Structure 1
Amino acid sequence: MGVAAEPGGAGLEQVAIEDASLGAFYRSMNPTERHTFWACAAGWALDGMDFMIYPLVIGTIISLWKVDAGTAGLAATVTLLASALGGWLAGYLADRIGRVLTLQITILWFSFFSLVCAFAQSFEQLLVARALLGLGFGGEWAAGAVLMGETIRAQYRGRAVGSVQSGWAIGWGMAVLAQALLFSWLPPESAWRWMFAVGALPALLVFYLRRYVKEPEVAAETRARAAATGDRPRIWEIFSGPVLRTTILASLAAAGCQGGYYAITTWLPRFLTTERGLSIVSSTGYLAALIVGSFAGYLVGAWLADRLGRRPLFLIFSLGAIAVILAYTQLPLSNAVLWVLGFPLGFFASGYFSGMGAFLTELYPTRLRGSGQGFCYNFGRGIGALFPALVGYLSGQVGLASAIAIFAAVAYGVFFLAAFALPETRGRVLHADS
């Protein structure tokens, strides 16, 4: 075992990863790890379903309420901006009151406001409801990612956290399935409302969390020590000392990876129905190829995060995402070829997320982990939140396909450079005093 210098000033023990097969982590899990794994996987799947509902109904909203593309994209942007604030606050709260309790609060919050969205009577009301939903949406990831990172052992952390991340693709698929069914059975005027009502389902997960999921020992010990000494973490502490450089670079990496992802996923359903001439129902097969590729990308990314390391995963996938999105939007391809290309687009535009949760967990000392991880990832969401609106506004000048390509390529370029400048963290062991 080696010891690596860590941004918070303490040394971090590292372990060798002897069995790097994808399923090794699950076979070796104890009951506590498995309960946490399934709770977080279900939470992230339902979170993904909840968020992806709006991009799927954005065309209906534009048509029914006569809003332009830029204004419609603003609702996605506001949700993500609110999630940035919610994630930072939830991360800080997780350091103060615990990971599990914070996770329960955030799930109930965004489930309730998803239901509120179903009853909106104007675009302005929907905008407010989506903003409030975003607070819980961002907080759920912050609390859940830290909970997973601290519960799973170092040698399996990348694969376990990455596999949980694949739940997002499952949630996305659930949203697309709900769209196909509801828009087939109901008129658009009511189908979109039922889509948001379905988004309230994550509230049921709280019962499982309360019964089976425990607070990580490393977090409980650190919080008890802080309470005894009076040295509680301060919300601005991640912007001081040697931690500041880590916070800046990790925030840029998170902004790049999420900006590219949201530029693509927010507007791709609209791209297929307008510039490619597909109906909402017929576009389902194209989105399915994207989602299957995304799911495969998450699993391969989870494996590579422990096999090659976090940084190589980010560098390879950011370059791959740039190449595929340029081909998808800029080359004169037939719809049949575009359907095939959906798989690698989903693969490269999603797979790197498998390494982000473990990577951010390992960058920070335990007393600041929730605050640091919550801020960086959700700062990335906040900056990435600008991309849907910017794509919408720019599409009026250069077309939707070019607008998506421009913002996605810039975002993934930033991700590549920031990841290159950060240290490798694979195999780091987390301690209560780190």
Structure 2
Amino acid sequence: MFDWYKSSAAVERKTFWACFAGWALDALDVQMLGLIIPALTAVFALTKTEAGLISSLTLVASALGGWIAGSLSDRIGRVRTLQIAILWFSICTFLSGFAQDYTQFIALKTLQGFGFGGEWTAGSVLLSEVIAARNRGRAMSATQSAWSVGWGAAVLLYALAFSWLKPDIAWRAMLIAGLIPGLLVLYVRRHVPEPKRIASAPEAQAKLPLTAIFGPRTLRVTLIGGCVGLGAHGGFIVLSTWLPTFLRTERHLSVLHTSGYLAVLIFAFFCGYVSVGYLLDRFGRRPTIILFAFACTAMVVLYTLLPLTDHQMLAMGFPLGFFAAGIPGSMGALFSELYPSGIRGSGVGFCYNFGRIASAAFPVLVGKLAEGSTLGNAIGITAAVGYGIVALSVLLLPETRGRDLDTVTTAETTPPAELGPTSR
């Protein structure tokens, strides 16, 4: 499964580790917010609505940041944009540790969101253009597994900070430590070169990159790719938002509060990210994503219909986390292979981040459906809709396994390259 790394060139390995570290540090900063919310609520006397607004605004800002960074990477380069994004979210996280009131904190966290979204887009496009085509799925999904590493690091940092410091100081110490990721820029500047740029389609050169993805040759895949992002983010946000509430309030399961359940989920996500890459490169993008979409739907149905005990839920947490990680782990490779070089950043940024914003409607839909039914049924129906959108949308896209990105001149008509030792 990791043989791709051994056969990779030095520049591929260095780029991989730069993107892996960037995504892990992103996860560290993002997951810290969820862990320190109780302390923030106490310090700033927040209502639940005010606390939730922090996450919502950060999410919207990260989506906008992804669009902007994608377009910027087409203009000034992938590496330079990646450096800007890393510095941006590191500095904003650091400054938020000194916030004196709720207004200052939410403003700084919103600004931090721009850098968070920009880092994923710039790093994803950069790695896709450097890694060999035959290894692209595994390398990019392995990069996504860094989220689990950052998540675990956030939990450890939380345990240390709140064990040694008072709560009203511990949360500030965690955020101030968020400046450390900025040191990654030094590694990127020294070891990661800008990938080779090639001329894009003539119509793309005549327009702004963000506008070009809606041109006649790219409009169809842009709209379909946006639907993939919508379904993937929608299904995931339903699970992360409502499933814990359902299991805690209607099933009265206490395991949700244990470190064991959290450890199982983190490990499951890591395994799901790594494994889906092998399947992407072995069987193709479309069948792998469809498989994971149906598996996610099946797991949600089982979770909401079966009378689970604490131990059963702990055991089933692994397959749920495994399959839930697979679809996000696939999107970087899929979206990067749909666009020519000159508008690739804009295309990837739009498809991924359109879903982030539009998926905000899914948790609301669950609440509306639950008014006339059970919460379990509402979760199952809404998650099935999200993952159904993913499966149907992917069927409408070309299979891009092994595609040589240097030969992509239009988003739809370029056939995938044959897999082989020289495919890049």
* TM norm. shorter chain > 0.5: yes
Q: How does 1:28-177 map onto structure 2 within 5 Å? A: 28-62=7-41, 65-177=44-156
1:311 to 2:286 alignment: yes
Query: Which residue in the other structure is 1:337 paired with?
Result: 312
SS of the residue 1:352 aligns to: helix
**Identity across the alignment (%):** 48
Query: Which residue in the other structure is 2:415 paired with?
Result: none
Q: Report the TM-score when normalising by structure 1.
A: 0.84
Q: 1:176 to 1:77 in 2, by over 3 A?
A: same
Question: Do 2:74 and 2:209's aligned partners in 1 also have CA atoms closer than 8 Å?
Answer: no
Give the Cα separation in 1 of the matches to 2:395 and 2:221: 12
Aligned with residue 352 of structure 2, among 363, 377, 393: 377
Question: Do 2:71 and 2:210's aligned partners in 1 also have CA atoms closer than 8 Å?
Answer: yes
Deviates more, 1:192-201 or 1:249-258: 192-201
Deviations 1:196-233 (A, max 9, x none): 3333332111010000000111x2x438x99xx97565
Give the Cα separation in 1 of the matches to 2:164 and 2:235: 34
Q: CA deviation at 1:328?
A: 3.1
Q: Report the TM-score when normalising by structure 2.
A: 0.86
Q: How does 1:237-276 map onto structure 2 within 5 Å? A: 237-265=212-240, 276=252
SS of the residue 2:160 aligns to: helix
Query: Which residue in the other structure is 1:222 paired with?
Result: 199
Q: CA deviation at 1:39?
A: 0.6
Deviations 1:98-146 (A, max 9, x none): 0000000001101111123323334333322221111111111111001
Query: Which residue in the other structure is 1:8 paired with?
Result: none
| Residue segments in structure 2 that go unaligned for 5+ positions in a row | 410-424
Q: Which has the higher contact order (CA 8 A, sep 6+)?
A: 1
> How many positions carry a matched residue from both structures?
407
Deviations 1:2-41 (A, max 9, x none): xxxxxxxxxxxxxxxxxxxx22321111111111011111
Q: 1:298 to 1:222 in 2, by over 3 A?
A: same
Q: 1:150 to 1:323 in 2, by over 3 A?
A: same
Aligned with residue 322 of structure 1, among 275, 290, 297: 297
Question: Do 1:260 and 1:411's aligned partners in 2 also have CA atoms closer than 8 Å?
Answer: yes
Question: Do 1:83 and 1:382's aligned partners in 2 also have CA atoms closer than 8 Å?
Answer: no
Q: 1:60 to 1:415 in 2, by over 3 A?
A: farther
Deviations 1:374-407 (A, max 9, x none): 1111111222345567778998998976765554
Give the Cα separation in 1 of the matches to 2:300 and 2:92: 33
Question: Do 2:210 and 2:347's aligned partners in 1 also have CA atoms closer than 8 Å?
Answer: no
Q: 1:291 to 1:329 in 2, by over 3 A?
A: farther
Pairwise CA RMSD of aligned residues? 3.0
Amino acid at match of 1:131: T
Question: Do 2:339 and 2:408's aligned partners in 1 also have CA atoms closer than 8 Å?
Answer: no
SS of the residue 2:406 aligns to: coil
Deviates more, 1:267-276 or 1:284-293: 267-276
Amino acid at match of 2:285: R
Question: Do 1:111 and 1:200's aligned partners in 2 also have CA atoms closer than 8 Å?
Answer: yes
SS of the residue 2:401 aligns to: coil
Give the Cα separation in 2 of the matches to 1:420 and 1:428: 17
Give the Cα separation in 2 of the matches to 1:429 and 1:123: 49
Give the Cα separation in 2 of the matches to 1:374 and 1:116: 26
Deviates more, 1:325-334 or 1:205-214: 325-334
SS of the residue 1:325 aligns to: helix
Give the Cα separation in 2 of the matches to 1:179 and 1:382: 29
Deviations 1:300-327 (A, max 9, x none): 1010110111111211111211222333
Q: 1:43 to 1:32 in 2, by over 3 A?
A: same
Question: Do 1:80 and 1:384's aligned partners in 2 also have CA atoms closer than 8 Å?
Answer: no
Deviations 1:348-388 (A, max 9, x none): 11122222111111101111101111111111122234556
Q: 1:408 to 1:181 in 2, by over 3 A?
A: farther
Query: Which residue in the other structure is 2:210 paired with?
Result: 235
1:425 to 2:400 alignment: yes
Q: 1:279 to 1:349 in 2, by over 3 A?
A: closer
Q: 1:59 to 1:418 in 2, by over 3 A?
A: farther
Deviates more, 1:422-431 or 1:264-273: 264-273
Give the Cα separation in 2 of the matches to 1:249 and 1:142: 18
Give the Cα separation in 2 of the matches to 1:89 and 1:204: 23
Query: Which residue in the other structure is 1:414 paired with?
Result: 389
Q: 1:125 to 1:56 in 2, by over 3 A?
A: same
